[in-house]
């Protein structure tokens, strides 16, 4: 029983209850098509247009140049720029720390809030707050809390005797990334939490019960019962967290604008700067497509896990 779950070949809670054979009839397409149409029309079309733009030279402040086709020139420009390499590295740090932080925290808190205790509903609702606060306001509040003079973070740390006087956390190259990451993990964890809580609900209670009757300790119960069941949900959560962190613009832009000295300049920030500060739409969209390709690698690695698990039906 436990062994089977371990193979991780299932969607939440399906171990020994595989759905029957799939129906090979046309209604499947009818059901799927409306959503696909919405996606293709609303996101696909602008995406294609953006891709076409990346093959043209489009300097917004030089309209007299027209928009000549330049093939892959924009890609070469972007790839040659030292800022691009930096942005890849910052993006890697940004995305991976966000991913690990949000998943670990989200999982721990989900397990905590899944156990029975009075006030659990309230706790779940309170945990949702960071995610619900409009992101612009949340980010500005954090920026203020980090302020070297007026910020509560510094005031607290000074009172604890951990630092002597206020530090401009967002203003130093060594601390800016960490400071922005804390905000973003704080804001993103509730989303992971909700997904995992939903996933945990699908685990049949008699499984965990029988495991504890068998004398399994907390870790063993998690390792051999909870985790295998939760794995598909974790894979989805990981994939989505990767995507959303990767594309997170507000947190970094409003706190540091990618600074100081590009210490927090991710690909998304670089892309925005190319488009709205340098007015080079061609290079910006090329950077966007490259961003897309880099992320694709991640998603294929994660996503293959998911697809593989689904293929076995």
**Of 144-183, which residues contact other proteins (CB under 8 A)?**
145-152, 154-155, 165-173
Calculate Rg over the CA atoms of the chain: 23
Mark residues 264-293: x for contact with other proteins by CB under 8 A, - for none: ---xx--xx--xxxxx-x--xx--xx-xx-
Residue list 188-217, contact with other proteins (CB under 8 A): 189-191, 194-195, 197-199, 201-206
- The CB-of-104 to other proteins minimum distance in angstroms stands at 13
Based on the shown chain and the rule CB under 8 A, indicate whether residue 261 belongs to the binding site for other proteins. Answer: yes
Q: In the set 94, 95, 143, 245, which binds other proteins (CB under 8 A)?
A: 143
Nearest C-alpha neighbor of 251 from the set 133, 129, 80 = 133
Q: In terms of CB distance, is 203 or 211 closer to other proteins?
A: 203
DSSP assignment of 245-309 equals HHT--HHHHHHHTT-STTTT--HHHHHHHHHHTS-BHHHHHHHHHHHHHHHHHHHHHHHHHHHHH
Residue list 14-73, contact with other proteins (CB under 8 A): 14, 17-20, 22-25, 27-32, 34-36, 38-39, 41-47, 49-50, 53, 60-63
- The CB-of-105 to other proteins minimum distance in angstroms stands at 9
- The CB-of-164 to other proteins minimum distance in angstroms stands at 11
CB atoms within 10 A of CB 78: 27
DSSP assignment of 170-182 equals GGSTTTHHHHHHH
Q: In the set 55, 87, 99, 127, which binds other proteins (CB under 8 A)?
A: 127
Residue list 70-99, contact with other proteins (CB under 8 A): none
Cα torsion for 197, 202, 207, 208, to the nearest 10°?
Answer: 10
Count of residues engaged in binding other proteins, rule: CB under 8 A: 147
Q: Which residue's entry shows tokens 């000549």?
A: 68
């Amino acid at each position: 029983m436990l062994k089977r779950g371990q193979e991780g070949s299932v969607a939440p809670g399906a171990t020994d209850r595989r759905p029957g054979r799939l129906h090979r009839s046309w209604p499947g397409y009818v059901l799927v098509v409306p959503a696909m149409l919405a996606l293709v029309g609303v996101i696909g079309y602008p995406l294609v247009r953006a891709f076409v733009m990346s093959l043209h030279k489009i300097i917004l402040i030089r309209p007299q140049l027209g928009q000549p086709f330049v093939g892959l020139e924009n890609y070469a420009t972007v790839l040659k720029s030292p800022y691009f390499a930096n942005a890849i590295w910052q993006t890697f740090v940004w995305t991976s720390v966000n991913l690990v932080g949000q998943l670990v925290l989200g999982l721990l808190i989900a397990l905590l809030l899944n156990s029975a205790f009075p006030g659990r509903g309230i706790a779940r609702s309170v945990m949702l707050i960071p995610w619900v606060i409009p992101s612009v306001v949340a980010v500005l509040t954090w920026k203020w809390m980090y302020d070297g003079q007026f910020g509560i973070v510094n005031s607290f740390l000074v009172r604890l005797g951990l630092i002597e006087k206020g530090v401009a956390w967002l203003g130093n190259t060594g601390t800016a990334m960490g400071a922005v990451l804390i905000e973003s993990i704080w804001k993103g964890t509730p989303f992971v939490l909700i997904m995992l809580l939903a996933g945990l609900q699908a685990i049949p209670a008699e499984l965990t019960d029988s495991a504890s009757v068998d004398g399994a300790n907390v870790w063993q119960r998690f390792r051999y019962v909870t985790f295998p069941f939760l794995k598909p949900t974790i894979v989805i959560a990981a994939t989505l967290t990767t995507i959303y962190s990767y594309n997170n613009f507000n947190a970094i832009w409003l706190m540091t604008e990618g600074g100081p000295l590009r210490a927090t300049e991710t690909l998304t920030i670089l892309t925005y700067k190319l488009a709205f500060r340098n007015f080079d739409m061609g290079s910006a969209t090329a950077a966007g497509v490259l961003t897309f390709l880099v992320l694709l690698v991640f998603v294929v690695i994660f996503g293959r896990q998911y697809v593989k698990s689904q293929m076995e039906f």
